[in-house]
Structure 1
Amino acid sequence: MNQGRPFVYADARLKCDGVDVAELAEQFGTPLYVYSANQIAERAGLFQTAFAGVSHTVCYAVKANSSLAILKMLAAQGCGFDIVSGGELARVLAAGGRDVASRVVFSGVGKTAAEMDEALDAEILQFNVESEPELELLAARAAAKGKRARIALRVNPDVSAETHPYISTGLSAHKFGIGIKLARAVYTRAAAMPSIETTGVSVHIGSQIRQVEPFAEALAKTLALVAELRSDGHQIRYVDAGGGLGIEYADKDFDAAEQVAHYAAALKSALGSMDVHLLLEPGRFLVGQAGALITRVLYRKQNGDKKFVIVDAGMNDLIRPALYQAHHEIVPVVTREGSLDEEADIVGPVCESGDFFARARTLPVSEDGDLLAVLDAGAYGLSLSSNYNTRLRPAEVLVESTGARLVRRRETYEELFAPEMP
């Protein structure tokens, strides 16, 4: 099993599931994202095993990494999908076919009428509705199509999650969901709409949460609401427990199986004997440690006592350090015997002072042309990337049991300019 990091050294060279990373960089260029298919499948399998005694569906959070190749692999493994846009719905259908729509839940606070129409036509499993105006629009769109939209209200349980404030979503101060104390009245209103079917309740308290207690607390509050709703006559079948289970970016010995087991035990304890179908939405946990961003050293410079290692990847390729002050381990792709360490900032070429991957990081001394790997970059890497500074986004390589294959080629300037009309 490969539940830790799939990037390990052999003969002083970094390998991904046995494939030489330096050779991939030479073949496909840099910056380059490299993913382990084996680990993504294993991580999905951990959830399926841990919840084997519970009626459930693992709905991968597409926003973490929306690579068609990864979506296709997870669909074949029986996963469903948590989407937050019409574009993500299109990706899921392109990767898994129309049949996978029955395992899709649509979250997000700003669904448009066009997106609702696309999801209604696809006959997705459930809309996770986040406001009363959204409910009214969805009811109107479903009525216009002669359909009934299956909904869960996303309730805000006012549970605090110890995570970055930008990715905490479960407090009343956040834009997400409907206050749990108001939900019962909204369900009564929804049930009176002929084009709406109240089938579930949804909750999601944030991302990169490493303690399981907040998940159990949020689920317990949600299940108490389910009991009330059933007493009101609502046929609640699904409870969407959301996602957000975190990984350890700096812990090389992180035990993924143990973490999932603790998470499952906490949710099962909260669930008790209640008969519901549980929807789980892991994202980062499946793909985060399966990926690395490979970058090449362009230059070294020193301003006074401050040393800088300038690489060819930038904040447009991986924005997490700049946006979230996130820590990513950075390692040489090829090590040198007897190499000394130094403290330096690892920075990119983008014209922003916030364009950095690490500050005051102690690493082996590198030379121009050396390759570095930014680890644990499989989640919110390319999916948050941009073309800022008119930079072409990286290519992506998926390492499978049959070897490595290019799953997204590097963009061209012609493709970048194509939508523009000078």
Structure 2
Amino acid sequence: MAFTFRNNYLHCEDVKLKDIQTKLEQCYSESASPVFIYSQQQLEDNIKAYKDALGQIPNQTTVNYSIKANSNPELLKIIKDAGCSLTLVSGNELRLALKLGFDPKKILLNGNGKTRWETTLAVKSGCLINVDSDFDLRQAIQVCHELKVEANILLRINLNIDVNVHPYVSTGMAGSKFGIDEDQLDNILDIVKNTTYINVVGLHCHLGSTIEDLVAIRLCMNNLKNLAVDLNKLPFVNLKCINIGGGLNIDYYTRGDDTKSCHHETDSQLEAVNTWIKSVSGRNGIAAQMSNVHQSYSNKECTRSHWLNTLRAGESELNVDLPESLNKEHFPNPGDLIGELKEVNFDKSFDIIVEPGRSIVGNTAVLLSTVLGCKESGNIRFIITTGSMTEVIRPSLYGSYHHIDLIEPSRHSRRYLYNVVGPVCESADFLGKERFLNTPHVGCGLAIWDVGAYCYSMASNYNLRGRAAEILVSGSTWRIIKKPESFEDMMTCYSC
């Protein structure tokens, strides 16, 4: 793991984060905090996991990193050097990809609403284009005719498959704004049949993000396989590639049990444990202990780790299995995904594209912030930090969980249940709720984990806050790969 504690101080690889915090305070008095800290080793390891897994199938394969997850050019250079290509969703992302030297023939431009200039740039560049609708196709045809240039397109098919993710990141269901419904496909094919300059070379399906359901992924692959066989019977179709879109989830919870309260537990989970404890009550003293700790946990008086350790001690002593729902959840990894691909067994003539984003960069970074102070209101305690929803919007937008902990020993020993919030003038500005943390001193460093994906790329200037710096760590060295945004930087687009 790239982020580890050594002598009670958090390190990224071999660099103490407190040292970075101190140095930045000396160099950037106004904008030293917060800051994104990335691990180059973790990024390279994540890419290697995909490359190794894809090596198990006979097809030609490409890892097309989903650039919208994080578009920092220095990270993209590492991704390019590892032999990956890119999937893009905007013309400016395409401009960046070309500027960095990515092979345009392997770049894929996605998007349900491409503007004419974006389609024109894609056609001129010779990159692959995902077609999302009949109007998207007609625009591509018009541009190709004007330029007298052929374009290789993939048809993005909406297979109406539910992957049980947050509705904001579900993209493969009927009623989604993305993709071509299967009952609309004949119309698309009629348009293709009667035109020139357009080569249909592949199929694409994107089910969503934070996917954990491998059964749904296999269903998607099988449907694409069968559809590809049928379409290749048409004289004007020559499918050569299958693009398996959609991103795997990462384990945001892996470090959380030492700080989590029952706020993060479902009612059904708590009731299942309560029923299990009642079923073993009276056997010996451990049952009474479990009942007391379970009550304490339900009252938000102890951490999840203390609760689980007590329950597992009882399970071992009583030789009675805990409810299955308490078993540690397995988050699918690249090997699991490619294992499904291997089972589906696409013909070797098809090139396979996968489009990971979150699982490439998600766990490569923490947001390092500084504690401004603590306060109470009613019966709620708050830690106010320099980090906010303008850097990490996922908790506010999706209700997402990110692990939070102090990066250094606190000068105070008392441990309380805290809401960790930022200084933005918005009640939705929180980074985590009901976390057991030692009371931090003013100036204490605090880290929000797993912010490499969909955090900086979704950052904003709300409240006229400058966007944070980004730092890349490699071994025992670190460097700034994006300077903090100053007031002057924010004013450059205005006439004042």
TM-score (norm 1): 0.95
Structure 1 residues 309 and 369: CA distance shift in structure 2, 3 A: same
Q: After the TM superposition, which of the residue ranges 395-404 and 219-228 deviates more from structure 2?
A: 395-404
1:14 counterpart residue number: 10
Q: Give 1:227's match in structure 2, choosing from 226, 229, 233.
A: 229
Distance 1:258 1:179 in 2: 28
**Aligned counterparts, 1:172-211, within 5 A:** 172-211=174-213
Q: Give 2:129's match in structure 1, choosing from 127, 130, 133.
A: 127
> 1:123-158: CA deviations, max 9, x gaps?
21x101100001001111111111111101100010
AA aligned to 1:241 is I
- 2:406–2:445 CA contact under 8 A, matched in 1: yes
Structure 1 residues 232 and 173: CA distance shift in structure 2, 3 A: same
1:159 counterpart residue number: 161
- 2:15–2:475 CA contact under 8 A, matched in 1: no
AA aligned to 2:36 is Y
Distance 1:195 1:129 in 2: 14
Q: After the TM superposition, which of the residue ranges 17-26 and 150-159 deviates more from structure 2?
A: 17-26
Which aligned segments of 4 or more residues in structure 1 are displaced greater than 4 angstroms?
Answer: 253-258
Structure 1 residues 222 and 367: CA distance shift in structure 2, 3 A: same
Q: Does 1:48 align with 2:51?
A: yes
**Aligned counterparts, 1:248-327, within 5 A:** 248-252=251-255, 259-273=333-347, 275-327=349-401
Distance 1:330 1:131 in 2: 42
Number of corresponding residues: 415
- 2:405–2:448 CA contact under 8 A, matched in 1: yes
- What is the CA-CA distance between 1:256 and the residue it aligns to? 9.7
- What is the CA-CA distance between 1:184 and the residue it aligns to? 4.3
- 1:332–1:372 CA contact under 8 A, matched in 2: yes
Q: What do you get for the CA RMSD once the two structures are aligned?
A: 1.8
- What is the CA-CA distance between 1:243 and the residue it aligns to? 2.7
Structure 1 residues 255 and 287: CA distance shift in structure 2, 3 A: farther
Structure 1 residues 227 and 87: CA distance shift in structure 2, 3 A: same
- 1:58–1:282 CA contact under 8 A, matched in 2: yes
Structure 1 residues 310 and 286: CA distance shift in structure 2, 3 A: same
> 1:88-114: CA deviations, max 9, x gaps?
11222222x1x5222210111010001
> 1:211-249: CA deviations, max 9, x gaps?
211111111111111001111131100110013111110
Distance 1:375 1:41 in 2: 18
- What is the CA-CA distance between 1:402 and the residue it aligns to? 6.4
SS at match of 1:100: coil
AA aligned to 2:47 is A
2:23 counterpart residue number: 27
- What is the CA-CA distance between 1:341 and the residue it aligns to? 1.9
Q: Give 2:107's match in structure 1, choosing from 95, 104, 108.
A: 104
> 1:6-27: CA deviations, max 9, x gaps?
1100111100111111111222
SS at match of 1:182: helix
1:414 counterpart residue number: 488
Q: After the TM superposition, which of the residue ranges 247-256 and 363-372 deviates more from structure 2?
A: 247-256
1:368 counterpart residue number: 442
- 2:119–2:143 CA contact under 8 A, matched in 1: yes
Relative to its length, the structure with more helix (as a share) is 2
AA aligned to 2:91 is G
Q: Does 1:89 align with 2:91?
A: no
TM-score (norm 2): 0.81
Mind listing any 5+ residue stretches in structure 2 that lack a counterpart?
Answer: 25-31, 257-327
Q: Give 1:64's match in structure 2, choosing from 58, 61, 69.
A: 69
AA aligned to 1:110 is G
- What is the CA-CA distance between 1:183 and the residue it aligns to? 2.1
Q: After the TM superposition, which of the residue ranges 402-411 and 194-203 deviates more from structure 2?
A: 402-411
- 2:86–2:107 CA contact under 8 A, matched in 1: yes
Distance 1:257 1:169 in 2: 20
- What is the CA-CA distance between 1:257 and the residue it aligns to? 10
- What is the CA-CA distance between 1:187 and the residue it aligns to? 2.7
Q: Does 1:358 align with 2:354?
A: no
Mind listing any 5+ residue stretches in structure 1 that lack a counterpart?
Answer: none
Distance 1:223 1:301 in 2: 58
- What is the CA-CA distance between 1:189 and the residue it aligns to? 2.2
Distance 2:193 2:452 in 1: 41
- What is the CA-CA distance between 1:401 and the residue it aligns to? 4.0
Distance 1:283 1:20 in 2: 27
Q: Does 1:378 align with 2:452?
A: yes
SS at match of 1:25: helix
> 1:326-378: CA deviations, max 9, x gaps?
00000111134983321011000110000000112212221111110000000
SS at match of 1:335: coil
AA aligned to 1:41 is E
Q: Give 1:171's match in structure 2, choosing from 155, 170, 173.
A: 173
AA aligned to 1:9 is F
Distance 1:27 1:180 in 2: 56
- 1:347–1:355 CA contact under 8 A, matched in 2: yes
2:150 counterpart residue number: 148
AA aligned to 1:155 is I
1:331 counterpart residue number: 405
- 1:79–1:103 CA contact under 8 A, matched in 2: no
Residue identity (%): 29
1:238 counterpart residue number: 241
Distance 1:337 1:194 in 2: 72
Distance 2:105 2:409 in 1: 48
- 1:184–1:229 CA contact under 8 A, matched in 2: no
Structure 1 residues 338 and 299: CA distance shift in structure 2, 3 A: closer
